[in-house]
Structure 1
Amino acid sequence: MTATLPPGTRTGGPRGWPLLGNLPAFARDPLAFFESLRDDYGDWVPWSLGPRRGILLSRPEHTGELLGAVESTFKPMELGWALHQLLGNGVVVSTGDDWRRKRALVQPAVRPRQVASYAATMVECADALAGSWREGARIDVHQEMARLTQRIAVRTLFGSDAAGREAPISAAMATAQRELGAEFRGLTLFLPSWVRTPGRRRMREAVAVLDEEIEYVIREHEAASSAGAERDDLLGRLLAARDEHGGPLSRKEVRDESITLYIGGHETTSTTLTWAWQLLSGAPEARARLTQELDRVLGGRLPTHEDYARLPWTRQVVKEALRIYPPVWLISAVAAQGASIGGRAVPAGTAVWTSPWSMHRDERWFPDPEAFRPERWDADAPRRAPDHAWFPFGGGPRACLGARFALVEAVLVLAVLGQRFHLDSGTERAGVFPGLTLQPRTPVPATLVAA
């Protein structure tokens, strides 16, 4: 039972070990750890990740304040060597004027009008996958969704196809996920960058594969442009972008933003779709309502971008999957001078954390939080969650730039595949692994059943 406390109430936090703080408990199961902080200590809980002192916030209004104040009285937190290796100094991790410049250059590439132009590619790739499936076959849902969203990401981002290169890219991303999760939950988070460990070696090798792939498609893109071919893709827009002084993104910056957009368009959506299919498998009434909506709106035809707005139940399925299994499970920032939350001063240098996983599973905001209920999001639902209780893409000025892309992609893929197949994976849910995104811990086998 979640404790009900007045906003801003401070309670005692968990006792920690010398030097390690609460790292051992966090490392064992970070998701359960945050839920226990919320349930056992309240809405404003002091704790420590190793020597780093921090506070966990568990009220929506406090989370809203934090997200809105990043880049003013709070600053993004440095989350380790491995994340820096993967993302470089892209828009997700850059700060200050550098962040503002990059955001201004990247944002036009993922505005709603541009996302609409990618919808046909999303549908085409999903339809091709459905055409390769056969009734009664057994598939690994996560693997299939990863291959699909990878192909969509490569085609929309780079204007090419991933055919023949899926395996090394997927293996590299899987390694990066594991090593990010391991570093964040272990002592290597605090080691200097020059220290070499087996995990860091594996991370370097994985990033080298991704760098090689991105360099390949950049050269391919440049060759096509030199030959006079126009390519309407995200990479082309990044290469053509100019800041207020007429300056372009450097090649390293293009690499960093490409990786960021690739992860947003591939990793985030593949896991969201995997969880959505598994949740639907255990909820026959919700699945039947999905079938009815797809039959009524689409009548057997393929969806278009315009259908995104005409499929409210499909959107609610995605939204509820994002509530139960938010891809980004932890958000943090560091207090600067003059920072405050809920009218309470936060000392400069304090790490402030908020967890979509914990907030989304708080019964105060979402009754029976473990239950999959897309009807929570009905327009006429009698009880609506407060603002900032649902924030799978963050919020405020640093909200995920690819959120619209991910939502449109997930809805259109569900619509294409859901018209033709049920993915029967039973009622038991897979365990979760908190890496860069919230991944299934094991394969998710399912039987394809004709819809």
Structure 2
Amino acid sequence: MTTQADAGFTGSADSTGSTGSVGFADFVEGPRGVPLLGNLPAFGKDPLAFFELLRDRGDFVRWRFGPRPALFVAHPDNIGELLTEVESTFDQPDLGIAIRTLLGNGVVVAKGRDWRRKRSLVQPSVRPKQVRSYAATMAECAVALADSWSDGQRIDIKKEMAALTQLIAVRTIFGADTAADAEAIGRAMDVAQQEIGAELSGIGALLPDWVPTPGRARIKRATAVIDAEVARVVSRHRDGEEDRPDLLSRLLTARDETGAHLSDREIRDETVTLYVGGHETTSSTLVWAWYLLSRNEAVRRTLTEELDRVLPDHEPGYDDYASLVYTQAVVKETLRLYPTIWLLTGIAKEGATLGGTPIPAGTRVWSSQWSTHRDPRWYADPETFRPERWLTDEEGRPAEEIPEYAWYPFGGGPRVCLGTRFALVEAVLVLAALARRYDLDVTAPEIRPVPSLTLQPDREVLATIRTRSRGRERE
């Protein structure tokens, strides 16, 4: 049987990247798939390479996610349309049983009126004023880690950054200060993230929710651990004072326009969502930043020169953030090359268009930060780690003219990640606190990204700590 969405899939955008008035029947045909599974085997084998292959075929490329018709968009203009029109002509897709098991119906998963209500309740907790209050905790945790390191010590950066960002998340979200809180939730979150990645790119993506699999069972067990920890901390908060400065306390006291509080289940869902956003994304970004700095001595030198200038005699704080221009550029360039969120999708509603072309209702439209961020049309030397591309001259002119939505590691439009400011401030302050005192020399010649819930290294990221001489003189 041919569906309405099936009927439109034949075609090609022109090779110049133009998004002019092509017809839907002219979109590029993607690689040939296999019966029933479509392009899922190729996608599951290497999702990042698959999206690069689609990008190189054109700005609109049709493919099949299993038996379902799908459309890949590569041009920033169309990506912007997709992101800004979510909740109007594009719908938030069902993200699958694995993600729903972990996040419940939190603000990332919710739709329509429910999403708007939850966003209005969560957003005040992560506004710039509130992020300022969390910055001291971020810096204190980073400085404590720096104090525990020593010259010549061998570490696994992935483990060190995960433990650090877990501790920051637990303190800022829960107000808790015990290692047990961070360790229990962190271990469970690692399991959940790995299984979500496996489900997303494997046959599990096509299975009905009711089909049991070993991976789904592991996610349920991990989520049970997370739920127990969250319930324990929520109970402790409700038995204490209500004016604590952590995110959980703000969620507990938040009221919607009717005066209603979030339910216990909603508190759980939003807390876990904030934890994933505040820990997983920043941890991954920091790991990739250290890896890139270790492979680019000139960039590392420029970074430390800025840190010596801006932080000559003190640890970084929120008031230093604006002055750490190159450090911000390092983080931004890291997110370009290794975006923690590596794909976004939407479902076309009736009347949906992209580039002026009607998109049949029900079509699942995909975009990939990984492929867009490495597109040579938008970036000179796209595979090169070059933070300078994000700097501006004295008159405010950018070093490179980069189109809007050619960089979108946190999404965009109405559903842009609420924790964007939190994540950027945390990454910059942590990197500054550690890099002003140490260089980390990564020994592995090449580390490849593995797409799961976020982009993770494919192995341990082992490094040798080298104390910087100026850092030693300052202490």
CA contact (8 A) 2:444 2:461 kept: no
Which residue is 1:434 aligned to?
451
Which residue is 1:360 aligned to?
373
Residue 350 (structure 1) aligned with residue 363 (structure 2): yes
Which residue is 1:114 aligned to?
130
CA contact (8 A) 2:392 2:399 kept: no
Residue 25 (structure 1) aligned with residue 4 (structure 2): no
Residue 5 (structure 1) aligned with residue 17 (structure 2): yes
Match for 2:202 among 162, 182, 186? 186
- Residues of 1 paired with 2:83 and 2:178: CA distance? 36
Which residue is 2:64 aligned to?
48
Residue 105 (structure 1) aligned with residue 132 (structure 2): no
Match for 1:287 among 300, 305, 320? 300
Secondary structure at the residue paired with 2:250?
A: helix
The share of aligned pairs that are identical, in percent, is 57
- Residues of 1 paired with 2:428 and 2:172: CA distance? 17
CA contact (8 A) 2:444 2:462 kept: no
Secondary structure at the residue paired with 1:367?
A: coil
Q: Once the 2 structures are TM-superposed, how far is the Cα of residue 230 of structure 1 from its aligned partner?
A: 3.3
TM value normalised by structure 2 = 0.92
* Cα displacement string for residues 155-208 of structure 1 (whole angstroms, at most 9, x for unaligned residues): 000111241343332221111111111111112222222211111111111111
Task: Name the aligned partner's letter for residue 250 of structure 2.
Answer: R
Deviates more, 1:5-14 or 1:294-303: 5-14
Deviates more, 1:388-397 or 1:164-173: 164-173
Match for 1:141 among 141, 148, 157? 157
- Residues of 2 paired with 1:177 and 1:435: CA distance? 6
CA contact (8 A) 2:331 2:427 kept: yes
CA contact (8 A) 1:7 1:43 kept: yes
Which residues of 2 match residues 171-250 of structure 1 at below 5 A? Answer: 171-225=187-241, 230-250=243-263
Which residue is 2:186 aligned to?
170
- Residues of 2 paired with 1:303 and 1:178: CA distance? 33
Task: Name the aligned partner's letter for residue 311 of structure 1.
Answer: L
Task: Name the aligned partner's letter for residue 370 of structure 1.
Answer: E
- Residues of 1 paired with 2:181 and 2:172: CA distance? 16
Secondary structure at the residue paired with 2:144?
A: helix
TM value normalised by structure 1 = 0.97
Q: Once the 2 structures are TM-superposed, how far is the Cα of residue 89 of structure 1 from its aligned partner?
A: 0.3
Using a 3 Å threshold, how does the CA distance of structure 1 residues 257 and 147 change in structure 2: closer, same or farther?
same
CA contact (8 A) 1:377 1:384 kept: no
CA contact (8 A) 1:282 1:427 kept: no
- Residues of 2 paired with 1:165 and 1:424: CA distance? 31
Q: How many residues align?
A: 446
Q: Once the 2 structures are TM-superposed, how far is the Cα of residue 426 of structure 1 from its aligned partner?
A: 4.0
Match for 1:389 among 390, 395, 406? 406
Match for 1:302 among 303, 315, 330? 315
Match for 1:415 among 432, 446, 451? 432
Task: Name the aligned partner's letter for residue 456 of structure 2.
Answer: Q
Q: Once the 2 structures are TM-superposed, how far is the Cα of residue 357 of structure 1 from its aligned partner?
A: 0.4
Which residue is 2:461 aligned to?
444
Which residue is 1:81 aligned to?
97
Q: Once the 2 structures are TM-superposed, how far is the Cα of residue 261 of structure 1 from its aligned partner?
A: 0.4
Deviates more, 1:407-416 or 1:432-441: 432-441
- Residues of 2 paired with 1:190 and 1:230: CA distance? 46
Residue 36 (structure 1) aligned with residue 49 (structure 2): no
CA contact (8 A) 1:122 1:412 kept: yes
Deviates more, 1:186-195 or 1:51-60: 186-195
Using a 3 Å threshold, how does the CA distance of structure 1 residues 165 and 232 change in structure 2: closer, same or farther?
closer
Task: Name the aligned partner's letter for residue 365 of structure 1.
Answer: W
Which residue is 2:111 aligned to?
95
Task: Name the aligned partner's letter for residue 192 of structure 2.
Answer: A
Task: Name the aligned partner's letter for residue 137 of structure 1.
Answer: Q
State the superposition RMSD in angstroms: 1.3
Q: Once the 2 structures are TM-superposed, how far is the Cα of residue 419 of structure 1 from its aligned partner?
A: 1.0
* Cα displacement string for residues 379-425 of structure 1 (whole angstroms, at most 9, x for unaligned residues): 13442211110000000000000000000000000110011110110
Which residue is 1:369 aligned to?
382
Which residue is 2:354 aligned to?
341
Task: Name the aligned partner's letter for residue 36 of structure 1.
Answer: L
* Cα displacement string for residues 286-319 of structure 1 (whole angstroms, at most 9, x for unaligned residues): 1111111111111031111011001000000000
Using a 3 Å threshold, how does the CA distance of structure 1 residues 427 and 383 change in structure 2: closer, same or farther?
farther
Which residue is 1:130 aligned to?
146
Query: Which sections of structure 1, spanning at least 5 residues, go unmatched?
Result: none
Secondary structure at the residue paired with 1:423?
A: strand
Which residue is 2:264 aligned to?
251
CA contact (8 A) 1:150 1:162 kept: no
CA contact (8 A) 1:211 1:255 kept: yes
Which residue is 2:5 aligned to?
none
Task: Name the aligned partner's letter for residue 460 of structure 2.
Answer: P
- Residues of 2 paired with 1:311 and 1:148: CA distance? 21
Query: Which sections of structure 2, spanning at least 5 residues, go unmatched?
Result: 1-13, 469-475
Residue 317 (structure 1) aligned with residue 333 (structure 2): no
